Amino acid sequence: MSFATSAIGNRADLAVSVVSLYANQAAIDINFAVEPQEVEAIAVSSTTSGENKITLPTDFYAALVVSNLSSSPQQLLTKKNWMDIDSGTTTLGAPVDYVLYDTWMELYPSPDSSYSIQLRYQARPSVLTTLTSIPSFDTRFGVAWMYKTASYCAWHIKDFETAAIFDQKYIGELSRIPTDLALRQRDRTGQNVKEAHKARQRLTSADDFDHSSGFPIGLYGP
């Protein structure tokens, strides 16, 4: 907060409560932009037969992976739209799809038994309320946090030129630093790309060869 207000000219007309509000909003902006590992959480729920609703955690923001731990190997569920589920028939079985709503998740088909469903999700960042609190992102983005806070504060006092300058500095700082996801992808184990090929047709007799064109029949057209 002190660095941000100092950067825009030590304005005395900015109350501490206002700067605190913008500092928290800037921290939330960075959390959603870089998706730090620290805001990733896991919740496990057990289903009952015929009940397809699971209450989402109170700090839920976005789903990363939903899996059925009771299957062997564990099965990843596919995210669907509510239109796909509502247009389907009502059946019981092992869940293979899920749909997200306001405060709950629905499984399809409805469980026919007790299954252990694991939800990996991105949590909402908590609001900082004390001077000793630290954000969920690490110090790599500390300067970007200050830039965004300064931009909000400059906008508040209607210094739009300064606000635009710090916005650009904020964007530049974010683009310069790799996110947590980018750092994880530097280990490319298991990220090989494979190209599917059509199986070759094996010639079984002299009749499978077109002597007039010089090509095998059925592989290269007429």
Whether residue 212 is predicted with pLDDT greater than 90 in this model: the reply is no
In-domain check, residue 68:
yes
What per-residue string of b and e applies to 184-201 under the rule 16 or more CB within 10 Å gives b?
eeeeeeeeeeeeeeeeee
Biggest distance spanned by C-alpha atoms of the chain? 94
The amino acid at residue 130 is: T
In a domain, 171, yes or no: no
**What is the model's pTM?**
0.58
Q: Which of 49, 65, 50, 61 is nearest to 98 (CA)?
A: 65
Position 130 scores a pLDDT of: 66
In a domain, 147, yes or no: no
Judge whether 204 lies within some domain: no
| pLDDT value of residue 119 | 93
Q: Which domain holds residue 58?
A: 41-123
CA distance 218 to 203: 10
Residue whose entry in the numeric block shows the structure tokens 């932009």: 33
pLDDT in tens, 107-154: 988 888 899 999 999 888 777 766 666 666 667 788 999 999 999 999
Q: Looking at the domain assignment, is residue 180 inside a domain?
A: no
Q: Is residue 84 part of a domain?
A: yes
Tally of domains within the chain = 1
pLDDT at 147: 94
Q: Is 111 a domain residue? A: yes
- 69: in domain: yes
CA quadruple 85, 65, 145, 178: dihedral sign: negative
Q: Is the pLDDT of residue 84 over 90?
A: no
